[in-house]
Chains A and B, each alone.
Chain A
Amino acid sequence: MKEVKKHTGFGFVVKSLVSGLGLTWRHFKNARNRRTPEYVSDENYFKQPDGMATLKYPYEALPVPDNGRYRLHNEIDDCIVCDLCAKVCPVNCITIESVKATEEIGMTSDGTKKRLYAPVFDIDMAKCCYCGLCTTVCPTDCLTMTPVYDFAEVDIKNMVYHFTDLTPEQSEEKKQLLAKQQEEMAAAKAAALAARKKD
């Protein structure tokens, strides 16, 4: 068996102590440089072995991947309130109430007609499991994952995000409009039925 060479003696100890000091001194000197917040695909990402590794987080952050799954956002102007996202959600974190509009409300940016109001469109981010299924089923691509991941709250109620663009009064008004229209339609239907019976 080969004997392991033992490093002992005054000279060796001094040498190792000095080389230790040299190491910390090198790091101290290199502390003038600091790593830059670059994306992992950047050429420089792995080429910054020297200098401070800290990023001042709230002010600087490493970019996240485009297809990463972070906080959801619903662009309510493009939403046709189809309820697909709520149906596909495995943890039921999306709550949608819909009210039929009495007339056509408008068009989404991809040209789909909007026929429903959404008095309630809530996403409970505390329940969300970030699977991203809702964004795949969304027909108008209005429900998206944003690169925001730092949204902790003190009160868990604040984790429920409300995306509706209607005030409670407005939604009440829309509901009444719909009820009125349906009443009128029912009355018209009844009248038509009565007229047909007479014949």
Chain B
Amino acid sequence: MLAFLLTLGALLGVVIALAYAERKVAAFMQDRMGPTEAGPQGSLQAVADVLKLLQKEDIVPAAADKKLFKLAPILIFAAVFAGFAVIPFSPDLIPAGIGIGVFYLLAIISLDVVGLLMAGWGSNNKYAMLGAMRSVAQIVSYEIPAGLAILSVVMVCQSLDFQEISYQQGALMNQFPGLEYEMNWLFGIEALGINTTTIGGITTWNIFRAPILLVAFVIYFIASLAESNRAPFDIPEAESELVAGFHVEYSGFRFAILFLAEYSMMVLVSLVAVILFLGSWNTPLPNIGPVALAYWTSGTPGELSSIGWGIFWLLSKTFILLFLQLQLRWTYPRLRVDQLMHLCWKVLTPVALAVVLIAGIWRLLMI
């Protein structure tokens, strides 16, 4: 219960910061100023927006399928929020440390699609319906390259446990029960003879343990943009043609929930990308001989210092990815539906399949 409340609180904080950052970043990239009035530099703008939404009338359209309409936001948010349960925030801090975290996450995020379809269908509105259909088509399609990219990580790490995958990517690896005698080699190739087990830092991140995962990371990042309906894959919410997509009929608190779910999804996919590819809560600084930067910036597992460092590194990397998501949104134009499907089925999926194959061979080299 405590983990639930803490995660929810942290998530709200991050989402509010992100909503503000989105407006400011967008403004700066377009030579504008963004919000300036509410609070210093407009920093309370997102809070003010949320308060405004909470005060608004809760409108349920007369012709809507009321049960579906009311249930959809709850389902969408619950699906995304449940994904946070398996995210490790530090060496000891994980809301629910289950052994099949990756599998659970993929499954629970897919539930989101059902909620989207419910919202689109229940609204009884053509824009909402079109938006929901596009959204579902897009998310279902892009789950395949995303899943394959994650699969290649699972193959390299030989684990479905996020915490175990995290430990493998740092100097603290041997402290995880079951990994006491594991070794990390540079690029995962023992033949090179460079043992990075105690060097840690960036050299043991998954994208360096098995450089093929860099390709998997790019594939996952592109697919995750599509899964969270972010530009340039935002055709489900294309303002210029669909007004707002599946949530066009929602107002007040329900809209706030959908908005929250959307931004939570962005945070979640970035967190997963960081955990699977960019060293999770591990520090990017390696131990260099007597200068044990990695140990100094990791803390001791089981103590408060490791929680602080873990959360710091995890969130820093996540915010860099989130910034990249924002920048992509304000740089690239929206893809057409056929281009979207072309990219998914004819480019990303075959490449992801090849990456899975190469990752398997790489794993053989690592033994």
Hey, which bits of chain A sit against chain B, CB under 8 A? Answer: 17, 20-21, 23-25, 27-28, 30-31, 34, 51-54, 56
Contact = CB atoms under 8 A, between A and B. Distances in A.
B31 A31 contact: yes
A24 B327 contact: yes
Contacts of A21: 327-328, 331
Interface residues of B, number: 14
B29 A17 contact: no
Given A17-B332, A24-B331, A31-B31, A56 B25 contact: no
Nearest to A54: B33
Contact of B31 (A20, A25, A27): A27
A75 B33 CA distance: 40
Interface string B316-339: 000000000001101110000000
A51 B29 CA distance: 9
Nearest to B28: A31
A24 B33 contact: no
Contact of B327 (A28, A51, A52): A28
B158 interface: no
Contact of B33 (A25, A27, A28, A56): A56
Contacts of B36: 56
Given A21-B327, A25-B327, A28-B327, A52 B332 contact: no
Interface in B18-60: 25, 27-33, 36
A56 B331 CA distance: 25
Contacts of B25: 28
Nearest to B33: A54
A21 B36 CA distance: 26
A52 B33 contact: yes
A24 B31 contact: no
8 contacts: A20-B332, A21-B328, A24-B330, A25-B327, A27-B28, A31-B27, A31-B31, A54-B32
Interface in B239-258: none
Given A21-B327, A54-B33, A56-B33, A28 B332 contact: no
